[in-house]
Structure 1
Amino acid sequence: MTGAGGAAAPVVAVLGTGVMGAGMVASLRRAGLPVRMWNRDGRKARALTGTGAEAFDSPAEAAAGADVVLTVLLDADAVIDVIRRAAPAAGTPWLQCATVGLAGVDRVIAVAGELGLVLVDSPVLGTRKPAADGALVLLASGPEEIRARLAPVCDAIGRRTLWLGEAGAGSRLKLACNAWIFLLTAGVAQSIALARGLGLDPQDFFRAIEGAPVDSAYARAKGAAMLAGDHTVSFALAGAVKDLGLIRSAQQAAGVPDRLTAAVLETMAAAAERVDDAAAVDMAAVLEVLGADPALVPGDGRP
């Protein structure tokens, strides 16, 4: 298979085909790139073979002969376990897209050196739909000389790639970005809950901010899911709790006060305790722990 200009399209091994990985596979295939994939639950990988991607039973089989290995897994432990099992050929570019935190990225860098891989630490901004649409933002950090080789892959899965310097910078920026995303999510839930608690229609909150500098498409999308009680996973609640822990650790390491993060983490963790499987619901479920006590809602007939 060839890409633009007749150049051979790089073969990409995608290790992890969950919510994000599945979208990336679809985007890579839409761009005409050959894809070899593996997932811990093999059914999820096999469900994507209709795209033309090949599913394999082990990380090593998927990585065999790949020009680029892309990992989309939960955390540093999973990433390191899977890349060791994959054992790509020395010199293979490794596009590492998970959010792993400060200590985690140091471990990833060490393992890449041990295996002789060319690491690009590149967590992404975006959730289910941007992944499926090839509209992620890649926070890439790694050797400058690898950029051209990775361009077909980055262009397929993302609308923009920010190159940030040496490996590790991408993971640091991802923590700063996610800190804002979680605060915004919790803030939207708080405003909806307060409007309800005061006997108002929460939609009036969105009407009030419409078109103003404080308005945002993200707040509207997440707010709509909250109001509909739609917990279809875009960003899993369990992942939010995990990432908030990484953000708090980074703040402590940097000497940055963690008061806001601690409050959001406590709230997200409380929401996670209320559901059967925090990995199977979206973080929009945080509204469930911020809602007003019905006994205290104005107009309830209290004396």
Structure 2
Amino acid sequence: MHIGFIGLGNVGGKLAGSILRNGYDLTVLDLDPGLMDQFVASGANRGQSPRQLTQVCDIVITCLPSPAACSTVVEGHDGILEGMGPGKIWAEMSTTDSNETRRLAELVIARGGEAIECPVSGGCHRAATGNISIFAGCTRGTFEKALPLLTVLGRRVLHTGEIGSASVLKVVTNYLATANLVSLAEALVTCKAAGMDLNTSYEAIRISSGNSFVHETESQVILNGSRDISFTMDLVAKDIGLFQSIAEAHDVPLELSPLLNKLFADAIGRYGPRELSPNIIRRLEEATGLLVRAPGFPPEMSDDEPEEAGYEVVPKRDDDIVSGIREATGR
């Protein structure tokens, strides 16, 4: 199977690395020729255009920073659609707008191809080791065709339903992570202001009901001072903005989400769109005159779990519960 990968940024480069590391024939494409050079030096092929890459590959993956960028790559001049046809799959791994993903998927299917949206969740450090989680929205038939590759790219793979469903759930999870990040920033600054030892504070949160994935990753780089989680404020603003739009489209009167959007808009105005997202804490550091740092924490996260074969995560259903009761009782 020949895989094409378009978009070799923070996440995309690590996902493409998993493909190459596992022995697939890989062709890459990015606006930055230096990123392509690194992959070509490791054995990948250099793509010439989205059209050419699609023509020579069985599955074409896009991992791009915005819905607009993806639309250009798919339907622009020399785009994916011009090389699409029967037997080919377009896999969208960006965090993007569900309506735009559906629209582009329909264009791909009209050309005889298949489409799957498969955004990832779990941090860049897990993307690098193939231990990240993947949400997959598509028909069941397309999912089963793509599953062998998806289990190389990630450890836990969840079929979320039709095209569009994975984008919605990805935005939901990114919104939750953002809410957690902001609350952790408040907690750590408050601990500092109250005279708590921050190393002890970190452990208190980690072993308690206040613990979370975000605490075990982003709190560490906050306390180190690097704030480097390979994610920037403009990307957070995009994701939580998409979440707000979904809620508004379904008449959900949110209260916390508008505040988060306001906080990040203010932070972007102060520090710029490419500021690292954990530096949302700078707003409180500056307001209090406190510096939230502690020794012994890493400047960036690495995945210390060994790479494992991926598998499909199957949601629980009522039938599963009934079957479990019958098996346990013999009735």
TM-score (norm 1): 0.87
Residue 31 of structure 2 is aligned to residue 40 of structure 1? yes
1:121 is the counterpart of 2:117: yes
Q: In structure 1, how many angstroms separate the alpha carbons of the residues matched to 2:131 and 2:110?
A: 32
Q: Is 1:202 matched up with 2:198? A: yes
Match of 1:14 in 2: 5
**Residue 293 (structure 1) aligned to one of 261, 284, 287:** 287
Please give the alpha-carbon distance, in whole angstroms, between the structure 2 residues aligned to 1:49 and 1:93.
23
Q: What is the correspondence of 1:1-303 to structure 2 with a 5 Å cutoff?
A: 10-84=1-75, 85-86=79-80, 87-91=82-86, 92-276=88-272, 278-279=273-274, 281-291=275-285, 293-294=287-288
Segment of structure 1 superposing worse, 163-172 or 263-272: 263-272
In structure 1, the partner of 2:316 is: none
**Separation in 2 of the partners of 1:167 and 1:102?**
8
The letter of the residue matching 1:40 is L
2:116 partner SS: strand
Task: Give the CA deviation at 1:164.
Answer: 1.6
Q: What is the CA-CA distance between 1:120 and the residue it aligns to?
A: 0.7
CA RMSD of aligned residues (A): 2.1
Q: How many Å apart are 1:171 and its aligned residue?
A: 1.0
Q: Residues 146-186 of structure 1, C-alpha deviation per residue, up to 9 Å, x if partnerless?
A: 23321231011100110122111111111221121111111
Distance of aligned partners of 1:76 and 1:294 in 2 relative to their CA distance in 1, 3 Å threshold: closer
SS at match of 2:158: strand
Structure 1, unaligned runs of 5 or more: 1-9, 298-303
C-alpha separation in 2, matches of 1:30 and 1:152: 15
Give me the whole-angstrom Cα distance separating, in 2, the residues matched to 1:26 and 1:222. 23
Gaps of 5+ in 2: 292-331
Give aligned-pair identity as a percent: 22
Per-residue deviation, residues 129-152 of structure 1 (Å, max 9, x unmatched): 111111121110112112332123
Counterpart amino acid of residue 88 in structure 1:
G
The number of residue pairs the alignment matches comes to 286
Q: 1:296 to 1:48 in 2, by over 3 A?
A: closer
Distance in 2 of aligned mates of 1:231 and 1:117: 42
TM-score by length of 2: 0.80
Per-residue deviation, 1:217: 4.0
Q: Aligned AA for 1:108?
A: L
1:99-150 CA-to-partner distances (Å, cap 9, x unmatched) read: 1123323333333244433111211112211111111211101121123321
CA contact (8 A) 1:142 1:166 kept: yes
Question: Secondary structure, in 3 states, of the residue corresponding to 2:248?
Answer: helix
More deviation, 167-176/83-92: 83-92
Distance 1:228 1:296, change over 3 A: closer
